[in-house]
Amino acid sequence: MGDFQKLKVWKRAKDLAVSIYKATGKGSFLKDYNLKDQIRRAAISIPSNIAERDELGTNRQSIKFFRIAKGSAAELFNQTIIAFEIGYFTQPQFEQVKEECQAISSMLPRLIHVRAKY
């Protein structure tokens, strides 16, 4: 248990989730419970699914959780676009989340490909 902590993609996803929690804990998010909760759920889902894959016995199950994590990254990016456009995120905050979502999303297919070989 705990091998997921060695994965760079998990580290980036975990750091992104932490920054999302901090960013959504103030400002306009304080009164917009629905969007705040939705963004937080998507953000926490990424590293959680990567970690959950660590405990599974088969590559097929691992691939499923990597794909869910990839979908959650897209969901988070979508919600960040909306939050930015309604003024909840600043341009630098938006750019940071965008870059991290794209980086994480591009790292996951490599892991999926490796798992699919076995």
Q: What is the pLDDT of residues 12-43, one digit of tens each?
A: 999 999 999 999 999 999 999 999 999 999 99
CA 51 to chain centre: 12
Q: Which domain holds residue 101?
A: 3-117
pTM for this model (two decimals): 0.91
Mark out the alpha helices in the chain (DSSP H runs): 8-23, 33-54, 59-85, 91-117
Rounded to the nearest 10°, the torsion over CA 61, 63, 65, 66 is 160
Find the CATH number of the domain harbouring 52. 1.20.1440.60
Number of folded domains in the chain?
1
> Higher pLDDT residue, 113 or 16?
16
